[in-house]
Amino acid sequence: MELLKSKILTEGKVLKDDILKVDAFLNHQIDPVLMDAIGKEFASRFAEQPVTKILTIESSGIAPAVMTGLYMNVPVVFARKQKSLTLTDGLLTAQVYSFTKQVNNQIAISSTFISEQDHVLILDDFLANGQAALGLIDLVQQAGATVSGIGIVIEKAFQDGGEKLRDKGFKVESLARIKSLKNKTVDFLDDTREVINE
């Protein structure tokens, strides 16, 4: 997705060889025009899949997920990382190791919002080692629902999350795939099907 790639190149900051900061348009300040384009793009990439709900994780997945929900005309559920006193009905939980914070988080949703009949599109801002996506898949499966696919805004293709999820047979669509962040430079994979051979 060219608009996203150019945003990454102009406003993203490479913090380390494996961390990209996109606080200027996705993780802190949010660019609504870009979010709208992202929502439209995910809706078109998953148009052939049955989708009745979108599931993401707070907080950075919410903006792209809501815009996608608007284009696909389905509700959006976000998993919470903090325990909430109001989140009491049939709690489904999973453990997720956070790549950026390097701690284990329990994530939770209320079973009220995902049922056996649902076909769930999982969305997140970044894909690194796949822990967040695997935790969300776990929640969907605990609810007895079906995973329709996984949409990622920025996939760091030099980490193994994408491979793990695709090997399990999930349809994974990433709007920007990064080959390398070495030398403070963002290097994209040109084609979504290109594989890194190292």
Helix (H, G, I), strand (E, B) or coil at 195: coil
Element (H, E) at 151: strand 146-156
Per-residue HEC secondary structure of 35-89 comes to HHHHHHHHHHHCCCCCCCEEEEECCCCHHHHHHHHHHHCCCEEEEECCCCCCCCC
Minimum CB distance to ligand 5GP smaller for 74 or for 134? 134
Q: How far is the CB of 146 from ligand 5GP (least distance, A)?
A: 21
**Shortest distance, CB of residue 180 to ligand 5GP, whole angstroms?**
12
Pick the closer one to ligand 5GP by CB: 50 or 166.
166
Query: Residue 88: is it exposed, middle or buried by C-beta count within 10 angstroms (0-12/13-18/19+)?
Result: exposed
CB of 173 to ligand 5GP, least distance (A): 15
**Interface residues with ligand 5GP (CB under 6 A)?**
19-22, 27, 60, 99-100, 124-132, 161
Nearest distance in Å: CB 117, ligand 5GP: 27
Minimum distance of ligand 5GP from residue 82's CB (angstroms):
15
- Residue with Cβ nearer ligand 5GP (86 or 169): 169
Smallest distance, ligand 5GP to C-beta of residue 48, A: 25
Closer of 47 and 176 to ligand 5GP (Cβ): 176
Cβ nearer to ligand 5GP, comparing 128 with 189: 128
Q: Residue 181 in 3-state DSSP?
A: coil
Which C-beta is closer to ligand 5GP: that of 73 or that of 125?
125
Location of structure tokens 């669509």: 173
Measured between alpha carbons, how far is 82 from 194 in angstroms, rounded to an integer?
37
Distance CA 105, CA 101 (A): 10
